[in-house]
Amino acid sequence: MPHPLKPATVLAQALTPDTPHSAEIIPATHISTTYERDTDNQYRTGLSYGRPHNPSTQHTEQLLAHLEDGSDALLFGSGMAAATAVFQALQPGDHVIAPQVMYWSLRNWLLGMASDWGLIVSFVDISDEQSIEQAAQTDNTKLIWIETPSNPMWEITDIRFVANIAQQCGAKLVVDSTVSTPILTKPLSLGADIVMHSATKYLNGHTDVLAGALVCQQQDGFWQRICDVRSHLGGIISPRDAAMLMRGMRTLHLRVRECCQSALIIAQHFEQHSAIKAVLYPGLVSHPQHILATKQMQGGFGGMLSIRLKNGEDAAIKAAAKVKLWKRATSLGGVESLIEHRASVEGENTPVPLDLLRLSVGVEDVDDLIADLEQALS
């Protein structure tokens, strides 16, 4: 082609390999767990066993690396497997910075198990630039982990700014971009070293695959350690799940665009609702980081938002109980719309306000979704 292909084209065709013998449109799923050596005892295909590598997994990884403008990608059996592999690649005594409000399962792991790996973790307000600067220790900070937009408060972190801090102190910057997806934000182009996705969510988009992904800017020694963690601990995704993830990703651009449009309409509709204290969504002009979001997110502000109810926790739980179309379930990024009283899921030590409901907007008709919320809030 005379010019680089747009993401929509790349996704729709899924980097389909040239297969002249079968002329297949859909890539085959390779389920073999082992591979034969050459007669001189070599593995010239680069494949020896299914735990470190698999052709179906590699194909999906190539597509994701292409989307993120990265040099390499790794798929894992879950988002948590991908995230913890980054921390397991660090050395005992290393200092890491993480957000006070972030993906709850990873926060729990950092609170409860990171010390077992000898890591020192500082939780900071990642939207406060001064807090990040103060937490960065030039002699010991090896990793800064940010999540933008942050779950479930949907605050925006300036990736370029944090990348500069990481560079000054010699740390790696990892961005959890699950909510933004490569359709809206490309953290590697903004200075991040690694981008992480819970691929269970938007990348797959159909609530039927558990998967996680990492994409790197540079295949350096730290990236090789992450590769070794996946290989040694057996965290690779199955070939069938990799193929299903690929199938889901082929409509990623369409689903993200639809979810973004509906989420903005819903946020604007309920911003002045008599039962709602606040709508948290970076696409609203009233959002304190809206200008930053417009610079960092291209083509939309995501399909996630939260609402805080004026009458507190009890009103939030009762509203969630009354919905008919929205499903009361954990997760996000699927074609179906989900609603959740997030504090109930996270427990008594949660930093999430008790009056907050988290909404994952699907691809249903937006008027139907609004009407359902209206009757639940009435």
pLDDT digits (tens, 9 = 90+) for 277-287: 999 999 999 99
Q: What is the pLDDT of residue 147?
A: 97
Q: What is the pLDDT of residue 48?
A: 78
Name 120's bridge partners.
Answer: 95
Q: For helices 79-88 and 104-112, what crossing angle results, to 10°?
A: 30
Q: Which residues of the chain does CATH 3.90.1150.10 include?
A: 252-377
Strands 141-147 and 120-124: unpaired
Q: What is the pLDDT of residue 21?
A: 55
Secondary structure (3-state) at 16: coil
Average pLDDT rounded to a whole number, residues 17-42: 74
Q: Which tens digit of pLDDT belongs to each residue from 190-217?
A: 999 999 999 999 999 999 999 999 999 9
Average pLDDT rounded to a whole number, residues 62-84: 97
| Cβ atoms of residues 281 and 154 within 8 Å | yes
Q: How confident is the model at residue 224 (pLDDT cuts 50, 70, 90)?
A: very high
Say how far apart CA 310 and CA 360 lie, in whole Å: 21
Q: Where are the beta strands (DSSP E) in 297-337?
A: 304-309, 327-328
Q: How confident is the model at residue 257 (pLDDT cuts 50, 70, 90)?
A: very high
Question: Which run of H or E residues covers position 359?
Answer: strand 356-360
| Cβ atoms of residues 320 and 347 within 8 Å | no
Say how far apart CA 227 and CA 143 lie, in whole Å: 17
Strands 212-216 and 72-76: antiparallel
Structure tokens given for 22? 């079968």
Q: Give percent of the chain with pLDDT exceeding 70.
A: 97
Dihedral angle, C-alpha 194, 261, 263, 108, nearest 10 °: -10
Quote the mean pLDDT of the chain: 93
Number of neighbouring beta carbons within 10 Å of residue 93: 10
CA angle 348, 349, 355 (to 5 degrees): 65
Q: How confident is the model at residue 22 (pLDDT cuts 50, 70, 90)?
A: low
Give the residue among 103, 150, 155, 114 at the shortest CA–CA distance from 331.
Answer: 103
Say how far apart CA 106 and CA 129 lie, in whole Å: 22
Q: Which tens digit of pLDDT belongs to each residue from 91-141?
A: 999 999 999 989 999 999 999 999 888 999 999 998 888 899 999 987 899
Say how far apart CA 139 and CA 78 lie, in whole Å: 32
Q: What is the pLDDT of residue 313?
A: 96
Q: Which fold has domain 7-249?
A: Aspartate Aminotransferase; domain 2 (3.40.640)
CATH architecture of the domain 252-377 equals Alpha-Beta Complex (3.90)
Average pLDDT rounded to a whole number, residues 291-296: 97
Q: What is the pLDDT of residue 1?
A: 62
Inform me whether the pLDDT recorded for 17 exceeds 70.
no
Average pLDDT rounded to a whole number, residues 44-63: 86
Q: Which residues of the chain does CATH 3.40.640.10 include?
A: 7-249
Q: Give percent of the chain with pLDDT exceeding 90.
A: 79
Give the residue among 158, 201, 95 at the shortest CA–CA distance from 297.
Answer: 158
Say how far apart CA 333 and CA 331 lie, in whole Å: 7
DSSP 275: T
| Residues with catalytic roles | 51, 103, 176, 201
Q: What is the pLDDT of residue 233?
A: 94
Average pLDDT rounded to a whole number, residues 72-78: 98
| Cβ atoms of residues 70 and 23 within 8 Å | no
Q: What is the pLDDT of residue 84?
A: 97
Q: Is the dihedral of CA 78, 80, 82, 85 positive or negative?
A: negative
Number of neighbouring beta carbons within 10 Å of residue 130: 9
